[in-house]
Amino acid sequence: MLKRVHHINFVVYELDAAVKKYQTLFGLNNCEFLDHPHRRVLTARFKVGESWIVLLQPLDNESPPGKHLQQHGEGFFLISYEVEDLSAAMISIESNGGAVQDEQAREGILNWQVADLAPESTFGTRIQLVEEKK
């Protein structure tokens, strides 16, 4: 079912400062800034191998990333695994005893369709499934 680690999200207070820090520490120069109004965040991403590192700056404290930032501070937010067929993966997760938070896939950045798993199903880890629509 899982194809690869698609992206890892880190939540930050100040996107520009976080981007500069990642560029300095890790030599990541190809940064892409993207709007993501559905999630109420500013985003920047870096390609690392076949995966993305995504930095998120919440625009308010009520969005899921904003709540996470207020409760836990900056750092790891979620890991996203790419799947071939998101709908089938969601059904499989639930039929195998897991729980999916989203009743249906939602729009992510670019052409990504995403669904979050319930953290209580994944040892407290925020896991998201993603399918890239071609």
User: Do the Cβ atoms of 81 and 127 come closer than 8 Å?
Assistant: yes
- pTM as predicted: 0.90
> Range of 35's domain?
2-132
What pLDDT, on the 0 to 100 scale, is given for residue 1?
A: 92
Q: What is the dihedral of CA 84, 122, 9, 6, to 10 degrees?
A: -20
CB 79 within 8 A of CB 128: yes
Q: What is the CATH number of the domain that holds 110?
A: 3.10.180.10
| Per-residue confidence band for 121, with pLDDT thresholds at 50, 70 and 90 | very high
Q: Please tell me the total count of domains within the chain.
A: 1
Q: Minimal CA–CA distance to 127: which of 69, 77, 55?
A: 77
Distance from C-alpha of 30 to C-alpha of 126, rounded to nearest angstrom:
26
Q: What does the pLDDT look like over 97-115, one tens digit per residue?
A: 999 998 888 888 888 899 9
Q: What is the pLDDT of residues 22-32, one digit of tens each?
A: 999 999 989 99
Reference 48, options 69, 35, 37, 32; nearest CA is: 32
Cα Rg, the chain, nearest whole Å: 15
